[in-house]
Chains A and B, each alone.
Chain A
Amino acid sequence: MTENLLTVANLSAVSDREDGVPVLRDVDLTLRPGEVRGLVGESGAGKSTIAKAILGILPRTVRITGGRIDFKGRDLLVMKPRDLRNIMGSEIALIPQDPQTALNPARRIGFQLADGLRLKRGMSAKIAEARALQLLADVQIRDPDRIMKSYPHQLSGGMRQRVLIAAAFAVDPQLVVADEPTTALDVTVQKEILRLIRRMQEAHGTGVLFVTHDLGIVAQICDSVTLLYAGKVIEEGPVRDVLETPQHNYTKALIAAGPRYDRPDAGLEPVPEAVFRELRQEIGID
């Protein structure tokens, strides 16, 4: 049994924007080195809150009320800002959701790609540029020379996401947090991007926390999965187990609601109201 790369334990948070409504309820979650864990749940379940808590970029209006986030055995929540700054963007990287807004419209791709290498790896501009060129080739971008000199608006959404994936893996991090990295993309592009993330992850041996609301994506790319509802972990385990022998009625209903992970053409029954009632009762919300 290898040591966990990431251990989230009893993490709780409330929203100060909504009168202290709980956003996370005693969340437990683990990630081993090189593992891809899906973090699934409907919109508002608290997936991004967990991702942001790990990265230390929670909005001011969300307050953590308990628990810990251990990265390589050290609790990120109590770490000195200086140490955090050293880890973030270096050992922990982010692939953001929306490639439209995650690249600076006024700067050339090459410079943006080199930022992390220069700031986190201390590379000179020249070496960082050469490395950036290599990275673009790694994420299967043809004509990387031209892309280096391009501005974001000259690239398609898929291309931009490739650039952002290259930027995330550039510093060779141990943990990549990907917050719905394909939600903003066309379905056809989605598949390529998923394959690319998996390929990069395998090549670098990176642990990935993959946030998505789509069980089908989980089936495609993840090793394990954590299912959230209203900030509470409903079910957790290896993907195969959870999808084939779901324990909770909510999980079962979600799989039935599909699009089914094993038969994308079937499914689409809404989750019955009774299942939600049961869920809310269990969690204790009315």
Chain B
Amino acid sequence: MIAVSILNRLIMAAVTLFGVAVIVFVLLRVVPGDPIAMMIAPGASPADIAALRAKYGLDLSLTAQFGVWIEAVLIGDFGTSISLRRDVLELLLSRLPATLELAFAALIVAMLIGGTVAVIGTLFRRTSLEPAIDTTNGVLLAVPDFVWALALVLMLGVFIPVFPLSGRIDPTLSIDFVTPFYLLESLVRFRFDVFFDVAAHIVMPVLALALPLATVITRILKETLLEAMVQDYVLLARLKGMSETRLVLQEALRNAVGPALSLTGVQFTFLVGGTVIVERIFAYPGIGNMAIDAVINRDLPLIQGLVLVFGSIFIVINLAVDLLAAALNPRLCHG
């Protein structure tokens, strides 16, 4: 049952990715701008330019170019970055972990903040705290990630400079990472000096990405929690003398998280998209930051690779969310 539906999803994922590949490929070729023009030395002869075009396969027809590219991608060859002159796959793999750490840290922080505020709002329903929480959350709901980023830079980077403004790690720290997951690796290796430095660097970009999602989670989760709190089973549990906190956490929460969870899945893809601008603001060396450079330089192979990576992330997220929802809902996993 579950295996079949996962297989279905994987086939759908492959189809989706192929669609994404086609669209980005065509789009990149119809948008004006010439990558070769960005890389030639002034005064290059037409013959030199033609040679370069041939080298990157840009002299072929559109369909032929696509065929060459897709065929190569299928065997793991994403081509060579035009601007960085390095293997695209290698570039992606070296930068992706930084973005993954950032995005997942932001996701966890968003769920913690959003969930906690929703639970507090539910516990204090019909008190004066509730409208205060609702109003504040309603206003913050409209604040996008890059505004949070700029506000955080001003508050925690400039006025009260507690966190470093840019980068991922203090370059003077001596540690040879064996994996590109700095945050995880330093923690696992008990290098707390390094861990705290990496954590300090990631705090502001994480918050900038997490806070918009947290407000969404709070909004929807508090609503479903309040709905669950008036259900008969909560009433019965209250009669049995269960404390209000346990009523919310044990009785209501599991029945209320469904909608918040699926929405979090959708919003998480926006969060991953948000890494592009947020990584740029904090000069954080992930694939988002790299994407902006790739676009500026019209680095077609790199952009294509990046889009496929982002597309894959979105698909994996959606799959994970569905599986998680099934795992949490006994109706779906026990006949």
Which chain A residues border B41 with CB–CB below 8 Å?
none
Q: Is B240 an interface residue (CB 8 A)?
A: yes
Q: Give Cα A116 to B231, complex, Å.
A: 18
Contact A106 B255, beta carbon cutoff 8 Å:
yes
Q: Please report the C-alpha to C-alpha distance between residue A150 and residue B250 in the assembled complex, in whole angstroms.
A: 17
Asked if A119 contacts B232 (CB within 8 A), the reply is: no
CA distance A55 to B240 in the complex (A): 11
The listed residue with most A CB atoms (<10 A of its CB), out of B231, B233, B236, B331, is B236
User: A164 to B237, alpha carbons, bound, how many Å?
Assistant: 12
Encoded as 1 (CB less than 8 Å from any A CB) or 0, chain B from 249 to 280 comes to 01100110000000000000000000000000
Interface 9-mer from A37-45, A87-95, A249-257? A87-95
User: Contacts of A101 on B, CB cut-off 8 Å?
Assistant: 231-233
Contact call A119/B255, Cβ cutoff below 8 A: no
Identify which of residues 100-118 in chain A touch chain B, using a CB-to-CB cut-off of 8 Å: 101-107, 112, 115-116
Contact B237 A103 (CB under 8 A): no
Contacts of B251 in A (CB 8 A): 104, 107
- A119: nearest residue on chain B (CB-CB)? B241
1/0 per residue, CB under 8 A from B, across A61-97: the answer is: 0000000000000000000000001101110011010
| Chain A residues with CB under 8 A of B329 | 106
Contact: A106 with B242, CB < 8 Å? no
Highest count of chain B CB atoms <10 Å: which of A57, A93, A106, A112: A106
- Residue of A at shortest CB range from B254? A106
CB distance from B127 to the nearest CB of A (A): 14
Q: Is the CB of B331 within 8 A of A120?
A: no
Q: Contacting A102 at CB < 8 Å: which of B232, B255, B335? A: B232
Q: Given B234, B242, B330, which contacts A119 in the complex, CB threshold below 8 Å?
A: B242
CB of A98 closer than 8 Å to a CB of B: yes
Q: Assess whether A2 is interfacial by the CB under 8 Å rule.
A: no
Closest residue of chain B to A105 (Cβ to Cβ) is B255
A153 CB–B CB distance under 8 Å: yes
For chain B residues 306-335, which have a beta carbon within 8 Å of chain A?
328-331, 334-335
- Is the Cβ of A105 less than 8 Å from the Cβ of B331? yes
B239–A94 contact, CB under 8 A?
Answer: yes
Tell me, yes or no, whether B235 is within 8 Å of chain A by CB: yes
Q: Is A93 within 8 A of B239, CB to CB?
A: yes
Per-residue CB contact flags for chain A residues 126-164 toward chain B (1 = under 8 Å, else 0) read: 000000000000000000000000110110000000001
Given A153-B330, A154-B334; A102-B242 close (CB under 8 Å): no
Cα(A154)–Cα(B335), bound, Å: 8
**Chain B residues near A88 (CB, 8 Å)?**
239, 241
Given A98-B232, A154-B335, the answer on whether A116 and B255 have CB atoms closer than 8 Å is no
Docked-complex contact B240 and A119, CB < 8 angstroms: yes
Across-interface contacts of A154 in B (CB, < 8 A) = 334-335
Option from A89, A103, A104 in Cβ contact (under 8 Å) with B241: A89
Residues of A within 8 A of B331 (CB): 105, 151, 153
**Which residues of chain A are near B330, meaning CB under 8 Å?**
105-106, 151, 153
Interface size class of B (residues with CB under 8 A): 20 to 34
A167 partner residues in chain B, CB cutoff 8 A: 236
Residue of A nearest to B233 (CB): A104
Q: How far is the CA of A98 from the CA of B235 in the complex (A)?
A: 12
- Kindly provide the distance from the CB of B1 to the nearest chain A CB, expressed in whole angstroms: 16
Contact residues in A for B237 (Cβ distance below 8 Å): 104, 115
A96 touches B232 (CB 8 A): yes
A116 touches B232 (CB 8 A): no
Q: Which residues of A contact B231 (CB under 8 A)?
A: 101
| A16-34 to B contact mask, C-beta < 8 Å, 1/0 | 0000000000000000000
How many Å lie between the Cα of A153 and that of B333 in the bound state? 11
**CB < 8 Å: which of A103, A106, A116 contacts B240?**
A116
Residues of chain B contacted by A150 (CB below 8 angstroms): 334
Nearest to A154 among chain B residues (CB) is: B334
Partner of A115 from B232, B235, B242, B254 at Cβ < 8 Å: B242
With A101-B231, A105-B331, A115-B242 in contact, is A94–B236 under 8 Å at CB?
A: yes
Report B-chain residues with C-beta under 8 Å of the C-beta of A86: 241
* Minimum CB distance partner of B243 in chain A: A119
B233 proximity list for chain A (CB < 8 A): 101-105, 112
Contact partner of A96 (CB less than 8 A), chosen from B236, B328, B334, is: B236
Interface residues of A (CB under 8 A from B): 55, 57, 85-86, 88-90, 93-94, 96, 98, 101-107, 112, 115-116, 119-120, 150-151, 153-154, 164, 167
A-B contact pairs, 17 of them (CB 8 A): A57-B235, A90-B241, A93-B239, A96-B232, A96-B235, A98-B232, A101-B232, A105-B233, A105-B255, A105-B331, A106-B255, A107-B254, A115-B237, A115-B240, A120-B241, A153-B331, A164-B236
Q: Which 6 A-B pairs have the closest CB atoms?
A: A106-B254, A89-B239, A89-B240, A102-B232, A151-B330, A104-B233
Apart from A101-B232, A104-B234, A104-B237, list 20 A-B contacts with CB within 8 A.
A55-B239, A57-B238, A57-B239, A85-B241, A89-B240, A93-B239, A94-B236, A101-B231, A104-B255, A105-B233, A107-B251, A107-B254, A112-B233, A115-B237, A116-B240, A119-B242, A150-B334, A153-B330, A154-B335, A167-B236
